[in-house]
Structure 1
Amino acid sequence: MKITAIKTFPVRIPLKPEFRMVSALGKHDVSLYPIIRIETDSDVDGVGEATVIPRWSGETVWSAQAIIDEVFAPLLIGRDPYDIEGIDLVMDQAAQGNWFAKSAIEMACWDIQGKDQGKPVYSLLGGPVRSPKIRCRFSMGAYDPERARRRAKELIDLGFTTIKVKVGTVLEEDIERVRIVRETIGPDYDIVIDANCGFDVATAIEAANALKDCNVALFEQPTPRDDYHGLAEVRNSIAAEVMADDICFDASHAMQCIRHQACDVISVYPGKNGGLRKSLEIVKLAAEHGVACSIGSNLELDIASAAMCHLVLAHENMNVEKYPGDIMGPIYHSARIVKEPLEIEGPFITLSDRPGLGVDVDWGTVEEHLMS
């Protein structure tokens, strides 16, 4: 089997007003993502999605489209979509970074393999180790007090048992927000806070100590990127467990977290890591050193969300039972671009056992949302 074409379709899909995100990285009101289709000489196509946000990985919808169309596609035409490692090597030799663009191509190749063999991708990754019905937490933005109170109650009423609250903005406002959420939901539910690198070490420790009585279960990425020593210092100074996210894109970053004993859990997901194979590399490395992993998010649509679900099903160290992850992106958006969207009900997302990624793109809906 050979790749004959790689095509990109940049879409613009607004978030629903009640789901618009506010964090230390700023506001996210609309998603500008490239959807890709890989065609083969066997009449089996695969799809991928790059959930690019400039503040996160430095990629934009335009840069991702350009590097896929002008750099990666010419190098990959004629290659075997079954050769994931070889395709990753070609892309890594051609360009540094560009994690989400690379992931879109890689997930499309897995989609092709699954469709070709009549198997879901998680079977190609070793088979399922847990139920396809995955409990998630809900990521709540850095909202004003009244909105935070209202949203927290709504989420508990929907059945969520873990709520992630964005912090890393103004310390006093962050503390007030978390206190309001705890007051609203009571003592029996878990709270995670996520600073998205918004604090320095001293402020992160101050925030955690100020919130001791709120029983915060997990502090996600309290300190800036690249400061593994600082992350370890926070971990050794607070009661809550610490998750590494923005600081850990690849296996070398994961090894730095491990060497510094900087975290209790690592957030992984295909987009951030450059593909499913590289995510699994991190998950297995972390398992060897007794560090748990869970699934992160960048507000994905159904295609990338399906890839995330396959990753969760494929390895025991994707410890979503203890550390629920974020695979709620499709319901944040005002449109679904697949014919049979992933089932999302309350805190649960359910992956089908259909071949490949298990989602078929509705190209008519994609056409309606194409960027001009």
Structure 2
Amino acid sequence: MKITAIKTFPVRIPLKPERRMISALGKHDVSEYLVLRVETDAGIEGAGEATVISRWSGETVWSAQSIVDRIFTPLLLGHDPCDIDGVNQIMDKIAQGNWFAKSAIEMACWDIKGKEAGKPVYDLLGGAARSRSIKCRFSMGAYSLERAERRTKELVAAGFTTIKVKVGTDPDDDVARVKMVRETMGPDLELTIDANAGWDAATAIAAMERMEEYNVALFEQPTPRGDFAALAEVRRAIKPEIMADDICFDLADAKECIRNEACDVINVYPGKNGGISKTVAIVEYSAEHGIPCSIGSNLELDIASAAMCHSVIACPNMNIEQYPGDILGPEYHEISVVKNPLQIEGPVITLPEAPGLGIEVDWGVVEANPCS
């Protein structure tokens, strides 16, 4: 089988008003992502999605489209899409970074490989280590106290048992928000926080001391990307466990986190890591060193969310039972770009049992929602 074309579609999908995100990285009201289709001479097609945000990975929908169209596609035409390692080697040799663009192509190739074999991607990764129904936490933005209180009540009623609160902005506002969420959710449910690299070590430690009475179970990425020593400093100084996220894009980053004893758990997902294969490599390396992993999110649509589900289902060390992850991106958006949206009921997302990624893109909807 050979790749005959890679077609790209910049899309613009608004978030539901009640789901719009506020964090240390800014506001996220609309998603401008790249959806792509890999075509083959066998008539089998694969779908991919680059969930790009410039302030996160440095990629935009236009840079992703450009590198796919102008750099990756000419090199991949004629290549076997089922040779996933070869596809990754070609992309990595010609370009640094560009994690989400690479991931979009790689997940489309996995989609093709699964369809050709008549198997879901998680079977190709070694088989199911857990159920296709995955329980998630809810990621709450850095909202006003009134909105945080209202949203917490809604989430508890919907069955969420873990709520993550965005911090990393003004410490006084953040501490007040965490206090409000804890008081509203009660003492028995799990509360975690995420600073998205918004604080330095001293600020993070001081803020955590003020939040100690609110029984925070886990502190995600308190300190800036690239500063492994700062993350380790916070870990030594506070009681909650530390999750590495913004600081860990690839296997080299994961090795540095572990070498510096900077975290208790590592957050991974195919978009950030450059593909499903690279996510699996980080998860397996972490397992060898006694560090569990969980699944993060960039508010994906159904395509990339399906890729995330396959990664979770296939990897035993993707310890979402102890560290619930985020795969609820489709629920944040006003419309779906697939004909069979992933089933989301409260905190649980369920992956269909079907070959490849298991989703069928509605290309009419994709083309009807262009980013221009």
TM-score (structure 1 length as normaliser): 1.00
- Per the alignment, residue 267 of structure 1 pairs with 267
Partner of 1:366: 366
In the alignment, which residue of structure 2 is the partner of 1:355? 355
1:370 deviates by 1.4
Does 2:67 match 1:67? yes
Q: For residues 332 and 352 of structure 2, what CA distance do their matches in structure 1 show?
A: 20
Q: Report the counterpart of residue 182 of structure 1 in structure 2.
A: 182
Which residue type is aligned with residue 339 of structure 2? Answer: K
Paired with 1:323 and 1:209, the residues of 2 have a C-alpha distance of: 22
Letter of the structure 2 residue corresponding to residue 53 of structure 1: I
Once the 2 structures are TM-superposed, how far is the Cα of residue 28 of structure 1 from its aligned partner?
Answer: 0.3
Q: Quick one: distance in 2 between partners of 1:365 and 1:251?
A: 36
Deviation at 1:367, TM superposition (A): 1.5
For 1:42 and 1:293, locate their aligned partners in 2 and report how far apart those are by CA, in whole Å.
37
Residue aligning to 1:286: 286
The corresponding residue for 1:32 is 32
Given residue 118 of structure 2, which amino acid in structure 1 is its aligned partner? G
2:293 counterpart SS class: strand
Matched residues in 2 for 1:128 and 1:210: separation? 42
Q: Which amino acid aligns with 1:114?
A: G
Partner residue in 2 for 1:197: 197
**SS at structure 2 position matched to 1:305:** helix
Which structure 2 residues correspond to residues 291-310 of structure 1 after superposition, within 5 A? Answer: 291-310=291-310
For the residue of structure 2 that corresponds to 1:236, the secondary structure is helix
1:193-240: CA deviations, max 9, x gaps? 000000000010011111111000000000001110110110010010
Quote the residue 2:334 is aligned against.
Answer: 334
Distance 2:238 2:7 in 1: 48
- C-alpha deviation, 1:250, in angstroms: 0.4
Amino acid at match of 2:73: A
CA shift for structure 1 position 350: 0.4
- The answer for the alignment partner of 1:12 in structure 2 is 12
Q: Distance in 1 between matches of 2:86 and 2:236?
A: 40
- Superposed CA deviations along residues 134-162 of structure 1, whole A, max 9, x for unmatched, are 00000000000000000011000000000
| TM-aligned CA deviation for residue 371 of structure 1 | 2.2
In structure 1, the residue matched to 2:113 is 113
Matched residue type, 1:119: K
Unaligned runs of 5+ in 2: none
Separation (CA, whole Å) in 1 of partners of 2:214 and 2:281: 35
CA shift at 1:270, angstroms? 0.1
The offset of 1:309, in angstroms, is 0.2
Query: Over aligned residue pairs, what C-alpha RMSD do you find?
Result: 0.5
Residue 352 (structure 1) shift:
1.1
C-alpha separation between the residues in 2 aligned to 1:49 and 1:11? 10
Distance in 2 of aligned mates of 1:258 and 1:117: 36
Distance 1:116 1:88 in 2: 19
**What are the ranges of 5 or more consecutive residues in structure 1 without an aligned counterpart?**
none
Matched, 1:89 2:89: yes
SS in 2 for 1:33: strand
Q: How many angstroms does 1:82 deviate by?
A: 1.2
1:89-120 per-position Cα deviation (integer Å, ceiling 9, x unaligned): 11111111000000000000000001111100
Distance in 1 separating the partners of 2:371 and 2:268: 29
TM-score (norm 2): 1.00
Letter in 2 for 1:5: A
Aligned residue type for 2:212: K
Structure 1 SS opposite 2:237: coil
Deviation at 1:86, TM superposition (A): 1.1
The Cα shift of 1:80 comes to 0.5
Runs of 4 or more, structure 1, over 3 Å off, are none
Task: Give the deviation of 1:10 after TM superposition.
Answer: 0.5
In structure 2, C-alpha distance between the alignment counterparts of 1:183 and 1:20, rounded to whole Å: 23
In the alignment, what sits opposite 1:321? Answer: 321
Q: State the distance in 2 between where 1:125 and 1:112 align.
A: 14
Match of 2:206 in 1: 206
Q: SS in structure 2 opposite 1:319?
A: coil
- Which one-letter code corresponds to 2:321 in the other structure? E
Distance 2:316 2:13 in 1: 34
- The match for 2:98 is 98
Counterpart of 1:276 in structure 2 is 276
Measured in 2, the distance between the counterparts of 1:167 and 1:32 equals 24
Partners of 2:309 and 2:225 in 1: CA distance: 26
Instruction: Read off the aligned partner of 1:138 and give its amino acid letter.
Output: F
Task: Please give the residue correspondences for 1:216-227 in structure 2 after superposition, counting only pairs within 5 Å.
Answer: 216-227=216-227
Cα deviation, residue 131, structure 1? 0.6
Q: Distance in 1 between matches of 2:284 and 2:118?
A: 26
Alignment of 1:248-259 (within 5 A): 248-259=248-259
What percentage of aligned pairs have identical amino acids? Answer: 68
Alignment partners' CA distance in 1, 2:276 and 2:368: 29
